A and B are shown apart, each in its own frame.
Chain A
Amino acid sequence: MAEASLPGAARRFRYGILDDNPVYRQLLGMCPTLAVTASLGGAVTMAGATAFVLVMANIVVALLRNRLKGHLRILVFTLTIAAFVTVVDRFLAAYMFDMSRKLGKYVPLIIVNCIIICRCEVCASRQPLHVAIADAFGQAFGFLFGLISIAVVREFLATGGLLGWRLPGWVGWTVMKGPAGAFITLGVLIGLVNWLSRRKRR
């Protein structure tokens, strides 16, 4: 596809947040979406870690895009993503030890997060650096929005509050802490987003 026919930086940024939201539209990165959204703190940290890897991987791939061999590109993407995931994993273990323990294997699993490899393939390997950066930030904000919205619902219903604040007398919904609560919340929110989109189109 000719580079000129691809979306520019502003559209890439906007698409990532709304029209191509990774959680609600592309249904990518479902593993962390379901696993770490039991609490708002975990969700924000995971979104931040993913954002760092997404932006750095897009920068490196966009800079190398004219040197990429077609049959080796996935290897280059994976190598780049794995390196930045290791960086973020070591920094979390050093400076956010308790959060690193809480997120556990989901930080190393960012390596196989489809959002990142998808953006390398769809945008960074085809478009200039500034577009790749805008795309990475758009997708990162979209992912952050997705994780926060699910975590807010789950943490509030499970504990009756957010980030330490508690509603007096609230009886927590234990189901919201587990995988079943994650699936239910994700399903309801996807349904809500689809309903709102359809209403807006009408």
Chain B
Amino acid sequence: MDFVDFSAMSEKKPGLLQYLGQAWLVLMLSVCFGAALAGVERFTRPKFEQNVKDFIARRLVEMFGPGTTTAEPTVLAVQIEGRDRKVRCYPALRDGRRVGWGIEAEGKGYDTLLLVIGVDEQVKQLKGYRVITSLETEGIGDVIEKDALFMKQFEDKDAARPLEPVAEAAPAEGNQVNTRTGATYSTTGVVNTINDTLAAVREKLAAAAKEGP
């Protein structure tokens, strides 16, 4: 290994070629690793998506009751917070009839959240939510998937209106949801993710419901 004499560099401004001469290894590694990671992503993506689909199918059974199955998702192109997103909506099927949707929603708590939101077919009633993946802090932010009382608050709420987060100690009425003290970012993040996603997909899913299965 050789070191650069920065005192000499400060006297004479280095040119682009000198910078490239110093950093060629970093640049080459970046290109090689980038290409390798693209290959890994391409190889593992279908399996990961199948895992998510199986996971959502199990969670739909929890939210819609035993005997619920799912099928290929409807992919909706929507805008959430000014960004173009593709939202996968998995139909919740019972006896071959669509009874609701499991909507894959990405949002932000303390870190990135991936949720599945259960709603009825007309997107009028929430059935609840489950966490697919989250990077929330263990023992603090992970209440969003471990605190059954927090999760239960979302069941049977009005899906046509936004949910309103209120402090843990305050009495919650109507579409209000008590957040958790110490995990305010995470619990409010769940509420915001549900609100933003439902606002974006509500009309399109309701239109799909009118068209029939």
Binding site for B on A (CB under 8 A): 35, 64-65, 67-73, 75-76, 79-80, 83, 86-87, 90-91, 93-95, 97, 100-101, 104-105, 108, 125, 178-179
- CB closest chain-B residue, reference A83: B33
Q: B170: CB under 8 A from chain A?
A: no
Q: B40: CB under 8 A from chain A?
A: yes
Partner of B139, one of A87, A105, A178: A178
Are A87 and B37 neighbours in the complex by a CB distance under 8 Å?
A: yes
Chain A residues contacting B111 (CB-CB under 8 Å) are 105
Are B48 and A90 neighbours in the complex by a CB distance under 8 Å?
A: yes
B 18-48 binary contact with A (CB < 8 Å = 1; else 0): 0000110110011001001100110011011
On whether A69 and B25 interact (CB within 8 A), knowing A35-B138, A83-B37, A125-B1, the answer reads yes
On whether A68 and B48 interact (CB within 8 A), knowing A79-B30, A101-B133, A125-B1, the answer reads no
Are B37 and A71 neighbours in the complex by a CB distance under 8 Å?
A: no
Are B47 and A94 neighbours in the complex by a CB distance under 8 Å?
A: yes
Chain A residues contacting B22 (CB-CB under 8 Å) are 69, 72
On whether A90 and B4 interact (CB within 8 A), knowing A76-B25, A76-B29, the answer reads no
- CB closest chain-A residue, reference B54: A97
Are A179 and B139 neighbours in the complex by a CB distance under 8 Å?
A: yes
| Cα–Cα distance between A104 and B134 once the two chains are bound (Å) | 7
Q: Which of B1, B45, B135 gathers the greatest number of chain A CB atoms within 10 Å?
A: B1
Partner of B26, one of A79, A91, A108: A79
Are A90 and B25 neighbours in the complex by a CB distance under 8 Å?
A: no
Q: B51: CB under 8 A from chain A?
A: yes
| Cα–Cα distance between A129 and B47 once the two chains are bound (Å) | 34
On whether A104 and B138 interact (CB within 8 A), knowing A64-B25, A90-B44, the answer reads yes
| Cα–Cα distance between A83 and B47 once the two chains are bound (Å) | 20
Partner of B1, one of A73, A80, A93, A95: A73
Chain A binding surface, main DSSP class = helix
Are B55 and A91 neighbours in the complex by a CB distance under 8 Å?
A: no
| Cα–Cα distance between A69 and B2 once the two chains are bound (Å) | 5
Other A-B pairs beyond A80-B29, A100-B133, 20, CB < 8 Å: A64-B25, A65-B1, A68-B25, A69-B1, A69-B22, A70-B4, A71-B3, A72-B23, A73-B1, A76-B26, A76-B29, A79-B29, A79-B33, A80-B33, A83-B36, A83-B37, A93-B48, A94-B48, A104-B138, A105-B111
| Cα–Cα distance between A64 and B30 once the two chains are bound (Å) | 14
| Cα–Cα distance between A65 and B3 once the two chains are bound (Å) | 13
- CB closest chain-A residue, reference B55: A97
- CB closest chain-B residue, reference A108: B135
Chain A residues contacting B33 (CB-CB under 8 Å) are 79-80, 83
Partner of A90, one of B29, B40, B139: B40
- CB closest chain-B residue, reference A104: B135
Chain B residues contacting A93 (CB-CB under 8 Å) are 44, 48, 51
Are B40 and A86 neighbours in the complex by a CB distance under 8 Å?
A: yes
| Cα–Cα distance between A91 and B43 once the two chains are bound (Å) | 9
| Cα–Cα distance between A67 and B26 once the two chains are bound (Å) | 11
Partner of B51, one of A79, A97, A104, A179: A97
Chain A residues contacting B133 (CB-CB under 8 Å) are 100-101, 104
Partner of A68, one of B1, B45, B47: B1
**13 chain-A/chain-B pairs, Cβ below 8 angstroms:** A67-B25, A69-B1, A71-B4, A79-B29, A80-B33, A83-B33, A83-B36, A90-B44, A94-B48, A95-B47, A104-B135, A105-B135, A178-B139
- CB closest chain-A residue, reference B133: A101
Contacting residues of chain B (82-113) with chain A, CB-CB under 8 angstroms: 111
Are A90 and B55 neighbours in the complex by a CB distance under 8 Å?
A: no
Chain A residues contacting B36 (CB-CB under 8 Å) are 83, 87
- CB closest chain-A residue, reference B30: A79
